[in-house]
């Protein structure tokens, strides 16, 4: 899988988990990079590599609780067929990434490390799943 696809799948898993479970999937923050939301710490693990293998990713699936595992699995089942560019385009729609880019005052393709806000992510994904607050 490409590094970009991994980032976008992590974003969707994080967002849906936040909506379904009302808690973070992981503590690292997404930043509003030019090509969509990116977790810097994950990027740092695969910096300079386009294609990733399972062994290139540092993580322990056994550390996930049942709710976390279910969120990740549902997102993988429903989004794995999309390309990295299709997933990226989905993140560029009005929502948390665009809100963060607007807060930062950056133009298309301009660099930004503005953080996406959990409350905006929760509201956005909550609306997608029909959750009412």
Q: Where are the domains of the chain?
A: 3-129
If pLDDT is split at 50, 70 and 90, which confidence band does 18 have? very high
If pLDDT is split at 50, 70 and 90, which confidence band does 49 have? confident
**Mean pLDDT over each residue of the chain, to the nearest integer:** 93
pLDDT in tens, 62-77: 999 999 999 999 999 9
**What's the pLDDT at 133?**
46
Q: What is the DSSP letter of 114?
A: P
Alpha-carbon distances of 23 from 27, 30, 42, 46, 119, rounded to whole Å: 10, 15, 20, 26, 11
Q: How much of the chain, in percent, has pLDDT values that exceed 90?
A: 82
Mean pLDDT along residues 24-43: 96
């Amino acid at each position: 899988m490409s590094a970009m696809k991994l980032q976008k799948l992590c974003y969707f898993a994080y967002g849906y988990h936040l909506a379904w479970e009302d808690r973070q999937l992981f503590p690292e923050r997404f930043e509003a990079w030019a090509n969509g939301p990116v977790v810097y710490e994950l990027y740092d693990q695969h910096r300079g590599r386009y294609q990733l293998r399972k062994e290139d990713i540092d993580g322990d699936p056994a550390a996930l609780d049942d709710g976390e595992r279910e969120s990740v699995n549902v997102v993988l089942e429903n989004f794995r067929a999309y390309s990295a560019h299709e997933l990226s385009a989905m993140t560029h729609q009005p929502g948390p990434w665009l809100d963060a880019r607007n807060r930062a005052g950056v133009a298309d393709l301009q660099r930004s490390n503005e953080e996406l806000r959990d409350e905006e992510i929760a509201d956005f994904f909550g609306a997608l799943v029909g959750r009412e607050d």
